[in-house]
Structure 1
């Protein structure tokens, strides 16, 4: 019987910086993308339609780079790009914390979309594990419209950003689990927001109808793996899936929503 991996070990989570702060982009735009899940080709298409400039724009990823998608093993090359800034999702955390034998067993039965592991050498899998273990659990980005927080799942209801990040750095298991797997805020439709941060972008839970806003929290995950821009005008790009700006006044992505619906119905 295949069991779900155990609760995260705080010592593993604190091996590298748990919270990363990123200074303002002085020359280009900042985009945010939801759970990629190995759909790197789809993401590249969205970047092209957003006229993404790799010399000055930045791409922020709210976790779950691997599993389910056929391109998951390409995560090493993706993370090596200087314009990519990613945080850890629950799928990434599983890969980082499980042993090789466990991963191979789970891959052999395609548990939670891990089937791609069966085609990866031990050396490459170890390199992927190391790269994913280095991802922070939360990120704070300075933008022209204030500070933007990024976390894969959620900040616990009623907890402010400073307390949350402080507890993450201390290895608080409950906060880590909320950051990686929590869905209370969305399930309760709690719009109280998160104090201490201007806006918070999360993924984890699929939103077929586009970005879902709860206070200053934007739930931003599409099954196709593309999302929106956090620091620009939030425009659509020729009816194609586009990337939203972190600083867009209304981070919406209608063309991406249409693209996702087409994929869902195909």
Structure 2
């Protein structure tokens, strides 16, 4: 298998330290990973599909593949619905404009899911559907999540919620970031998957958790703890003092929190001397 990516790195939306773990494992299993590379031409031949590639690491411009899978993004499916015959408004990207109750400009029509805007995730759509249904039933509710998790179902999985390090930097926030390597996790060792990483993005002033990122086996099953922490306004001490079952991968979240105070049980991180 050859992976061709036109940007300088895989999964541009995720933090680089998480992606590096995935890319290292992929590199050992794939024929090649070609970054900053584009597909110029695809031609079906008797012996397969001839792909013409262009990029800095392409040693041969034309390669033959058995199959080709293209992933070039998504767009809202708002065309052909007769929206011009209603008061419904659509933005420049094709997303249907809705209010906090998922109601469109046509008061008796609601829109949820990918067509109602990003993030285009199934669990976000389900929550929107619940809000819309409750509003239709006469309840006073609005859609206002503090955090929506994202999961990439690769091997290992990558999951994050809240602010990534890059997003924090873009907002001129200088967070404290703590990382707990799964090499120090007993459960990861028994699973023979100690290549993972759990990290917390913390507001240094309030010590509240504003982001969490995990890469490793089952990361998608673990990220909900980060969602709850952000929704409840938990600080890093709250998470560190919450007893987690041993031995489990979720312990890495607790120990990452303990690293903030330098009290992690299974991983010692020396403090840098101030100059």
Could you say which TM-score interval applies, normalised by the shorter chain?
Answer: under 0.3
Question: What TM-score comes out, normalization by structure 1 length?
Answer: 0.24
Which has the higher relative contact order, 1 or 2, with Cα contacts under 8 A spaced 6 or more apart?
A: 1
TM-score calculated relative to the size of structure 2: 0.24
* Bigger Cα Rg: 2
